[in-house]
Amino acid sequence: MMGEGHCRPGKAGVAALEFALVTPFLLAILAGLADFPLAFWYRMVVISAVESGANYAFAIEQNASGTHGSLSPGDVRNAVLAAGGLSDMNVAVGSASTNCIQSGPVSSLIAVPADGVCADGTMPGTFMTIAASYRYAPLMPFYAMVAPTSLTDKATVRLQ
Confidence category of residue 152, pLDDT binned at 50, 70, 90 = very high
Query: Which residue in 45, 71, 48 sits closest to 127, CA to CA?
Result: 71
Give me the DSSP letters along 27-47.
HHHHHHHHHHHHHHHHHHHHH
- Cβ atoms of 128 and 159 within 8 Å: the answer is yes
Model pTM? 0.75
Q: What is the pLDDT of residues 102-126, one digit of tens each?
A: 888 878 888 888 888 888 888 888 8
Residue 38's pLDDT is 86
**Contacting residues for 68 by C-beta, under 8 A, at least 6 apart:** 61, 96, 126, 159
Task: Say if residue 69 is exposed, middle or buried (CB neighbours under 10 Å; 0-12, 13-18, 19+).
Answer: exposed
